[in-house]
Amino acid sequence: MKIYIAAPLFNEIEIQRNVDFARLIENEGIKTYLPQRDGGLFYDLKDLNLTVDEIKNEIFQSDLNGIKSSDIILCLLDGRTIDEGLCIELGIGYALDKICIGYKTDFRSQDVCGINIMVDRTLSEIFSKKADLITKLNTLKKKFNSSRIDFESYYVSETDLVGRR
């Protein structure tokens, strides 16, 4: 099972929080795609003498592939408003039938009904406690592990076939 961590990543606090979440999840034996680590940050790639368009394309394609290869989109929703990039990542994940889960501890909101309705309806659950989130992820991990076919056990070698002729 692999989790794509969708979150804002534009200051030290956000970047460190994302790293902490990735570690927390990875300590449970679950793979993660963390855009700032696995796709790169704009200003880090700028040092590679790439054009702005090349950097944008590199980050977009890497993150898009990260979403496609993940089973779950975990959205870190804290902040006065929800990060625009997170909304796009969530929308792509939802359109690809990924499990979409939110985590929110900051309950400031511009909307009197809570978070944006389109975001709210794409998320299957929103957690406010790390322990509850980790419990859910471990439950999903068990389901994913039990539903995967072990193709190795179904493999028939050429010598097995020759012996049966």
Across 155-164, average pLDDT: 45
pLDDT digits (tens, 9 = 90+) for 125-156: 999 999 999 999 999 999 988 876 554 444 44
Which residue range(s) make up the domain with 129?
A: 2-164
Query: Dihedral angle at the C-alpha atoms of 23, 9, 32, 109, nearest 10 degrees?
Result: 90
**Which H or E element spans position 100?**
strand 99-103
Per-residue pLDDT, 79 = 85
Report the pLDDT value the prediction gives residue 95, as an integer from 0 to 100. Answer: 98
- The reply to whether the predicted model has a pTM over 0.95 is no
The span from the CA of 9 to the CA of 90, in Å, is 15
Residue 60's CATH number = 3.40.50.450
Please report the pLDDT score of residue 153 as a whole number.
45
Number of domains in the chain: 1
Query: Which of the two residues, 79 and 100, has the higher pLDDT score?
Result: 100
